[in-house]
Amino acid sequence: MERPFADVKKEVLDFFRVRFQYFLLDKGYAFDVIEAAFSASFDQLLDVQGRVDALVEAKKLKDFESVVIGSKRAINILKGLTSVGRVESSLFQEGAEKALYESFVGLKDKVESHLHCRDYRAALLVLIQLKKPIDDFFDKVMVMVEDEKVRDNRLALLSQISQLFLRIADFSKLS
């Protein structure tokens, strides 16, 4: 009996994933960095290598840990949600959520451009600029409020930001 192409493709990718993971571990890369990059996507080895290298460099930066913590918080809040809507800036009630949204919108195109060129280091350097707005958001804004429209809008904002981070790595995997 012939197996479906998708099954064979998955097995081949899994084989290469494991082999490449061991290769990187042997080269001295940290397991959490490898896992974070692999969790985002694993379809091109050079692409994965670029994301791993960018994460290694970014972990040395002063503000990176704070951005990772904010990303982890966003991912935890979003767990279990199947879909979120669009961000409606008219629904913002707190200055911190408006500031985060404006910072995100102001940086998104630059990050997208770096991602398109596979310059993950540059993309991370831009994303780190979200440190203060992310910190302020989580310090001053309650996401899970009773007002469904406001809550869903805040979840949509966190989702958009998380999706951009996830194009590089699953930051929740970083220790």
Neighbours of 104 (CB within 10 A): 19
Cβ neighbours for 12, distance < 8 A, ≥ 6 positions apart: none
pLDDT of residue 143: 95
Q: Which tokens sit at 48?
A: 């994965």
Distance CA 64, CA 91 (A): 30
Q: What is the pLDDT of residues 67-86, one digit of tens each?
A: 899 989 998 899 888 778 89
Nearest to 153 by CA among 82, 79, 109, 93: 93
Reading the chain (175 residues) residue by residue, the pLDDT tens digits are: 677 888 888 898 899 999 999 999 999 999 999 999 999 988 888 999 999 999 999 999 989 999 899 989 998 899 888 778 899 999 999 999 999 999 999 999 999 999 999 999 999 999 999 999 999 999 999 999 999 999 999 999 999 999 999 999 999 999 8
**Single pTM value for the model:** 0.89
Query: What CATH number does the domain containing 100 carry?
Result: 1.10.730.10
pLDDT value of position 84 = 81
What is the structure's pLDDT at 129? Answer: 94
CA–CA separation, 2 and 160 (whole Å): 41
CB 173, CB 35: distance < 8 Å: yes
Q: Which range of residues forms the domain containing residue 92?
A: 5-173
Domain count, the chain: 1
- Residue 13 has what pLDDT? 87
